[in-house]
């Protein structure tokens, strides 16, 4: 009798891997070919019970997040995004190999001279340094593709990305996170979410509405009009994410000062 190979013990069951990791995005502009990679937004629990936070620096945005509402809550949609997260959590090298190989497929090669774009994250963010570093290697391996992201991981990007940024990667800081104070609006490409087109226009921002690729090619000040989700619009009111986060920070500081008392020491 020959010895049958013993499968390696695995802590978590491995779900089937999709053939393609990236999906085609619907774009307002028919000539744009944009693919995307998405994680589940903010906190949740995987099917095996593990808890996660895919947006560690989310601030007020977590209560106004379009990626935690509407179709994103459909069980099949959420499950697909959680499978993505589980893949990078459990087998980051395997995922990186698959993504690197996939980007050499002909569907990511331009046939008409227009570059193919990949948006990294619709929901979720660069939740760890190893995950960010895996993406940086992937960007460099696929110079024929232009990648872009919105992120609230300002400190991480200033440390790990800006000093040696891949030429085919554009990122934009988005307001509403716990690191808003690190965003320099005069220096950094950034985005703020406004209640509507009129208010972003009034604030001197350029609307992202005509094309998602304004994240890449638009000016430093990009404005996003809030999604048409009634309960989120009601919660946001007339302020932008930046201004809501500023108020939340001020309230937090006031609470802290009150706890400390006049002596400046915590009670
Ligand atoms: S960081 Fe982005 S995806 Fe995460 S909760 Fe905030 S708005 Fe949603």
Read off the pLDDT of residues 17-38 as tens digits, 9 standing for 90 and up. 889 999 999 766 667 889 999 9
The residue assigned the tokens 């007339």 is 238
Read off the pLDDT of residues 119-162 as tens digits, 9 standing for 90 and up. 999 999 999 999 999 999 999 999 999 999 999 999 999 999 99
Crossing angle of helices 129-141 and 92-102, in 10° steps, is 20
Confidence grade of residue 264 (pLDDT, cut at 50, 70, 90) = low
Q: How far is the CA of 246 from the centre of ligand 1 (A)?
A: 17
> Which pair of tokens denotes residue 104?
């050499």
Strand partners, 43: 53
pLDDT at residue 7 in the model: 42
DSSP 264: T
Read off the pLDDT of residues 205-217 as tens digits, 9 standing for 90 and up. 999 999 999 999 9
Q: How far is the CA of 42 from the centre of ligand 1 (A)?
A: 6
Confidence grade of residue 260 (pLDDT, cut at 50, 70, 90) = confident
C-alpha of 125 from chain center: 4
pLDDT at residue 113 in the model: 76
Q: Is 227 in the pocket of ligand 1 (CB under 6 A)?
A: no
Confidence grade of residue 259 (pLDDT, cut at 50, 70, 90) = confident
How far apart are the C-alpha atoms of 1 and 92, rounded to whole Å?
Answer: 37
C-beta atoms surrounding 45 within 10 Å: 11
Q: How far is the CA of 124 from the centre of ligand 1 (A)?
A: 6
pLDDT at residue 189 in the model: 98
Is the dihedral angle over the CA atoms 44, 151, 177, 233 positive or is it negative? negative
Residue with the nearest Cα to atom 5 of ligand 1?
Answer: 62
Q: What would the mean pLDDT of 55-61 be, rounded to a whole number?
A: 98
Q: Is 233 in the pocket of ligand 1 (CB under 6 A)?
A: no
Per-residue 3-state assignment (H helix, E strand, C coil) for 148-191: EEEECCHHHHHHHCHHHCCCCEEEEEECCECCHHHCCCCCCCEE
- Is the pLDDT score of 5 beyond 60? no
Per-residue 3-state assignment (H helix, E strand, C coil) for 57-110: CECHHHHCCHHHCHHHHCHHHHHHHHHHHHHHHHCHHHHHHHHHHHCCCHHHCC
Read off the pLDDT of residues 165-177 as tens digits, 9 standing for 90 and up. 999 999 999 999 9
Q: Is 123 in the pocket of ligand 1 (CB under 6 A)?
A: yes
- Is the pLDDT score of 70 beyond 80? yes
How far apart are the C-alpha atoms of 250 and 134, rounded to whole Å?
Answer: 36
Q: What would the mean pLDDT of 181-191 be, rounded to a whole number?
A: 97
Per-residue 3-state assignment (H helix, E strand, C coil) for 215-234: HHHCCCEEEEECCCCHHHHH
Q: Is 59 in the pocket of ligand 1 (CB under 6 A)?
A: no
Q: What percent of the chain has pLDDT over 90?
A: 81
């Amino acid at each position: 009798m020959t010895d049958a190979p013993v499968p390696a013990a695995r802590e978590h069951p491995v779900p089937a891997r999709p053939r393609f990791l990236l999906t085609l995005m619907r774009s307002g502009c028919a000539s744009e070919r944009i693919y995307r990679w998405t994680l589940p937004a903010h906190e949740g629990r995987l099917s095996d019970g593990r808890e996660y936070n895919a947006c560690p620096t989310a601030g007020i945005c977590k209560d106004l997040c379009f990626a935690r509402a509407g179709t994103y809550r459909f069980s099949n949609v959420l499950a697909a995004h959680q499978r993505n997260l589980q893949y990078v959590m459990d087998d980051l090298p395997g995922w990186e190999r698959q993504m690197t190989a996939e980007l050499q497929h002909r569907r990511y090669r331009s046939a008409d001279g227009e570059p193919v774009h990949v948006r990294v994250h619709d929901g979720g963010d660069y939740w760890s340094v190893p995950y960010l570093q895996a993406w940086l290697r992937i960007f460099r391996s696929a110079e024929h593709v232009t990648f872009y992201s919105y992120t609230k991981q300002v400190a991480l990007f200033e440390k790990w990305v800006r000093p040696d940024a891949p030429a085919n990667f554009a990122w934009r800081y988005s307001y509403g996170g716990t690191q808003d104070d690190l965003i320099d609006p005069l220096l950094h490409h950034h985005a703020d979410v406004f209640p509507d087109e009129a208010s972003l226009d009034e604030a001197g921002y350029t609307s992202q509405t005509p094309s998602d690729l304004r994240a890449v090619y638009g000016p430093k000040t990009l404005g996003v009009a809030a999604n048409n989700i009634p309960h989120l619009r009601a919660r946001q009111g007339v302020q932008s994410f930046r201004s809501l986060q500023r108020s939340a920070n001020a309230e937090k500081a006031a609470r802290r000062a009150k706890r400390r008392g006049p002596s400046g020491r915590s009670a």
